[in-house]
A and B are shown apart, each in its own frame.
Chain A
């Protein structure tokens, strides 16, 4: 979808709110390392994969933030940042800017504040978040189902049909799993859950997907209780 900057789509959002989010971006410890200035050379745009297929520009991001254009940054935070591929090809910048790094911060702020754009961008992504936070591995063999990857062709069905036997045909002992990428120890998972608890990550999940949050918290609290931890995520 084209990014229409001719109108202020978010004119009804109070300026104080836009400024608050902008300040949250610039307060991040990484911010100063990611933005120095702009030669207008366009190297970041030329190397950006997303710029070729979306109305997206890493230079627009860097310049809007550098100019402290709070209005535009708010618009970009809603309508642009989720197009970024996070490949960091833009780190080629001769001024050492990292538009990709700025976007990482902006995305975190969007999630932390439950912006509707973040919720929309992550629609359909819940099962991935569940997998990584709940099991400690991001993708699993049993995700390879024909209805999930129709564009990958019939070979996905071959894998799905033969999943159990093909996993047992893997010589490394840790790879016989189907629900996780590899075998992860119970104590390792418990340690991961404790990290989520101690770092407040679950609050971020709650901001963008309340249902997913509830499911994850139930799973984690039950496992932690079984292991003797009196931990609640609320």
Chain B
């Protein structure tokens, strides 16, 4: 009998051949530029210089380096603000010009996927209003939220394929006094972090080689319009998205695999707010416990609001029930910032996270008590009124 292992080549050794000529999907760029020629809309070009990355079928995606307009995330800004702060900090660290706009609304997709209390025209109008606001500044949209990223790509697809929807939304934008303009690429911040990984490595000041991480890719990043997602033949043989993993490997983190990698985190959109028993059960039993058993990581690294929230916050109740949990959860932007020397509380704002992360910091050579004392000392200036806000300059100390 032929041993089964010789018949079944291990999945991890397989290679997906990225060939744009064999892509089963249309190239979105061709269509949006054709619609521009026909006068349907303007296309905002990715500003030069930009980085080029490969997407699933080997097509090139342009990633802006700077002059970015940061489309913020509801959950990040509201409940885990060190996530967004780390993205801004990385830009500042490299001296890149960017805008953190107040002329920005949520994409409203979290609500849409949770409650369905919206429609195609409203979703597209919200997206195009935000894109118009970015274009007015001359800066290029960089989308912080995985759901916004996936949803905007779905919305772009609907606009491309429906002349009636384009007409309706163009009229709405005109009544708001806005241009009808779509970006050449819809870019997620983690794609920017991925594209910057060599530069991050060059400037790294903290050794990460003792850290073992598991990766959780966000569903709305890699399962919606999957052909527009970063894949790399050097990472998982281009069979899975390279996002997060590429960044972690560049800074020397040991990325460990686990069997439920593809599973979602359990966020569920409406579930995390009104049916959290489901979110909690899935996050801990299908993700954290599996990771713990199969890889025993020091940290879970992900790249979306909902994933950080669900995987992190769900562990408290699970621990109370005796489950094998207790793994801190961070974003790739926070891990990159740590590698570059960012302060864990002034920049990463790790006190907004739930699961104990002091062990992770200690393993990186950071004294968590000392770092917290530094943060509290900085807070004194706010408490005594000598300073109203902490500033970027305060994060340098």
Interface residues of chain A, those whose CB is within 8 Å of chain B, are: 29-30, 47, 49-50, 52-54, 82, 85-89, 91-92, 104, 107-108, 110-111, 118, 121-125, 128-129, 132-133, 136-141, 143-144, 149, 151-153, 155, 158-159, 165-176, 180-185, 187-189, 191-192, 194-196, 198-201, 204-205, 208
- B389 CB-CB contact with A under 8 Å: yes
16 chain-A/chain-B pairs, Cβ below 8 angstroms: A50-B268, A53-B281, A111-B116, A132-B106, A139-B74, A167-B81, A169-B389, A171-B391, A172-B85, A175-B85, A182-B77, A185-B103, A188-B133, A192-B105, A204-B118, A205-B117
Q: Which of B122, B133, B316 is A199 in contact with, Cβ under 8 Å?
A: B122
* Contact A137 to B129, CB < 8 A, known contacts A171-B85, A199-B119, A201-B117: no
| A49 contact from B74, B84, B176, B264, Cβ within 8 A | B264
Give 4 new A-B contacts, CB below 8 A, not counting A124-B273, A166-B351, A182-B102: A144-B79, A175-B77, A184-B104, A187-B103
A82 CB contact (under 8 Å) in B121, B270, B378: B270
User: Chain A residues near B223 (CB, 8 Å)?
Assistant: 87-89, 91-92
Interface size class of B (residues with CB under 8 A): 35 or more
A149: chain B residues at CB < 8 Å are 313
Q: Which residue of B lies closest to A128 (CB)?
A: B273
Stretch from B58-66, B107-115, B192-200, B236-244 at the A interface? B107-115
B108, B263, B268: which contacts A132 (Cβ < 8 A)? B108
B268 touches A49 (CB 8 A): yes
- Is B271 located at the chain interface by the 8 A CB criterion? yes
A125 partner, pick from B77, B115, B126, B129, beta carbons under 8 A: B115
- Of A87, A174, A181, A184, the contact of B78 (CB 8 Å cutoff): A181
How many A-B pairs with Cβ below 8 Å?
249
Known: A175-B84, A194-B176. A185 touches B111 (CB 8 A): no
- Chain B interface residues toward A at CB < 8 A: 72-79, 81, 84-85, 88-89, 100-106, 108, 110-111, 113-122, 125-126, 129, 133, 150, 158, 161-162, 165, 172, 175-176, 178, 219-220, 223-224, 226, 262-264, 266-271, 273-274, 276, 278, 280-282, 286, 313, 316-317, 346-347, 349, 351-352, 354, 375, 378-379, 382-383, 388-392, 394-395
Residues of B within 8 A of A191 (CB): 129, 176, 178
- Do B78 and A168 have beta carbons less than 8 Å apart? no
Residue among A53, A122, A137, A155 making CB contact with B354, cutoff 8 Å: A155
A204 with B119: CB separation less than 8 A: yes
